[in-house]
Structure 1
Amino acid sequence: MKKTVGIIGGMGPKATALLFELIIDLKDAKKDQDNVDLIIMNRASIPDRTAFLKGESDKNPLPYLINEIKRLEKCEVDAYCVACNTSHYFKDEFTKASSLPFIDMLEETVKIVKIMEKKKVALMTTTGTMQMKLYQKALEKFGIEYLIPSDENQKLVMRIIYENVKANKPIEWDIFNKLIDSIKNDGADSVILGCTELSIVKYEKKLDDDFFIDSSESLAKAIIEFSK
């Protein structure tokens, strides 16, 4: 039998919908039965991860995430993933809570960076992901040089994520283009879109695959590979 992958999503819902679409498109199935078997938990009520990690909220998302893992176990999935980069701060707790294989979005994204032989990659993530150094640690593990944004630019990244995409508002392309110009001026040969809301930005504008390395696409490819 084919393997079934569980996805814990809803962080946010539009990004989870894009991940599902990417899995379908990248699989390029010729008939329904060729597609990946998935169980998607669109748990939009999970408290904000960055707000908790920054100490701006006392609502811990971890119990909600563990609850979804347990629900997926009851569904008898063969592996699971969490469609939110910042949530990977809790990875150790996930693996303690379940023996199911965990498909790590960050590791899969950094593997793509390595395969593409990028030399200096910039990071665009939530402040929570950045402050917890989730991508920095993953990149250091592979010996890849990285650039982090200035405090001013990080505020602009968060504006795109929270005030544009999550708020269902038009993307402020002048701000986004300013960020990319800054990244290129700093000598980066690529940028990791390390927030699933930024994946939406990429696919809305059809941004260059060689420069913009998308965490959602990396996860979609890993899910397809596991499901074979």
Structure 2
Amino acid sequence: MENKRLGIIGGMGPKATSVFMDRIIDHTVAERDQDHIDMLVLNHATLPDRTEVILENDGRKFLTAIEPDFRFMEHAGVSHIAIPCNTSHYFYDDMQGMTTIPIINMVEETLKVIAERYGKGSQAGLLATNGTVRSGVYRKAAERLGIRLYEPDASVQQQVMDIIYDFKKGKKDSSAELESVVRQLLDREGCDCAILACTELSCIPVSEETAAYCADAMDVLVRKSIELSGKRFG
């Protein structure tokens, strides 16, 4: 299969982008440098906060800021674009309309994995930013694929937001809090799995037992990015 160059528009947040790159490298089957993927990474950390622009109905602010990034990717000759930020996918159609380069849709791909793993009619609990939840981007995709989406109540959603923004501030010991929220979705709300639908959540380690019931959107994007770049996931 032809080797293809991957474009990454990151910075949402910067640490999540670096973890995303590490996972691509770690999971690409390779025996030497030349077996890895050529990646063009734009760590655009100053992009407007996605949750804020969605809640304030000011999406044009984000789209205006990110549009030049697609020109950069076109000039660099990438074959696909990965954007490791779930909330930004609220603007997926608008962003895809800015470029002829296919943007990998991590929301759609994640729900496809859940449908394949748990089947139609299964219930998935959504752990995401307020912007992602409010936007309905996961809800709409879940309906198309026959997945029942559970969105946490206000108190649990605030816990999730605290975990996400604590991580952005540099707090590294949020594993217990995240584990607790996931177990609540599984045990109390009857979910078959929990969707880690924020790349900050993907960076927080959880036990193997808990991870087995998590659908990690970042990991799904990693696998798809590797495969579309002509390499094997391992």
Same fold (TM > 0.5): yes
Distance 1:16 1:160, change over 3 A: same
Q: Which amino acid aligns with 2:197?
A: G
CA–CA distance in structure 2, aligned partners of residues 98 and 106 of structure 1:
19
CA contact (8 A) 2:179 2:206 kept: no
For residues 193-218 of structure 1, the C-alpha deviation after alignment (integer angstroms, 9 at most, x for no partner) is 000000001xx335444201111100
CA contact (8 A) 1:11 1:44 kept: yes
Shift of 1:15: 0.4
Q: Which amino acid aligns with 2:153?
A: S
CA–CA distance in structure 1, aligned partners of residues 164 and 62 of structure 2:
19
Q: Which amino acid aligns with 2:128?
A: T
* 1:150 matched residue in structure 2: 153
Distance 1:34 1:116, change over 3 A: same
Q: Secondary structure at 2:3's aligned position in 1? A: coil
Give the counterpart of 1:180 among 182, 186, 190: 182
The reply to whether residue 194 of structure 1 matches residue 197 of structure 2 is yes
Name the count of aligned residue pairs: 225
The reply to whether residue 109 of structure 1 matches residue 114 of structure 2 is no
Distance 1:38 1:206, change over 3 A: farther
Relative to structure 2, which stretch is displaced further, 94-103 or 124-133?
A: 94-103
Distance 1:177 1:217, change over 3 A: closer
Q: Secondary structure at 2:203's aligned position in 1? A: helix
Distance 1:35 1:215, change over 3 A: same
CA contact (8 A) 1:160 1:171 kept: no
Q: Which runs of 4+ in 1 moved over 6 A?
A: 56-59
The reply to whether residue 212 of structure 1 matches residue 221 of structure 2 is no
* 2:43 matched residue in structure 1: 42
* 1:122 matched residue in structure 2: 125
For residues 149-179 of structure 1, the C-alpha deviation after alignment (integer angstroms, 9 at most, x for no partner) is 00111111000001x2100013334432332
Relative to structure 2, which stretch is displaced further, 41-50 or 91-100?
A: 91-100
CA contact (8 A) 2:118 2:192 kept: no
CA–CA distance in structure 2, aligned partners of residues 121 and 205 of structure 1:
18
Distance 1:58 1:80, change over 3 A: closer
Distance 1:206 1:100, change over 3 A: same
Identical pairs, percent: 34
The reply to whether residue 30 of structure 1 matches residue 31 of structure 2 is yes
Q: Secondary structure at 1:146's aligned position in 2? A: strand
Q: Which amino acid aligns with 2:196?
A: L
CA–CA distance in structure 2, aligned partners of residues 56 and 155 of structure 1:
21
The reply to whether residue 132 of structure 1 matches residue 147 of structure 2 is no
1:51-130 pair list within 5 angstroms: 51-55=52-56, 60-117=61-118, 119-130=122-133
Gaps spanning 5+ residues in structure 1: where?
none
For residues 52-93 of structure 1, the C-alpha deviation after alignment (integer angstroms, 9 at most, x for no partner) is 111197982211221111111111111112111111111111
CA–CA distance in structure 2, aligned partners of residues 223 and 217 of structure 1:
10
Q: Which amino acid aligns with 2:51?
A: T
CA–CA distance in structure 1, aligned partners of residues 156 and 138 of structure 2:
17
Shift of 1:3: 0.7
TM-score using structure 2 length: 0.90
CA contact (8 A) 1:47 1:59 kept: no
Relative to structure 2, which stretch is displaced further, 88-97 or 40-49?
A: 88-97
CA contact (8 A) 1:5 1:223 kept: yes
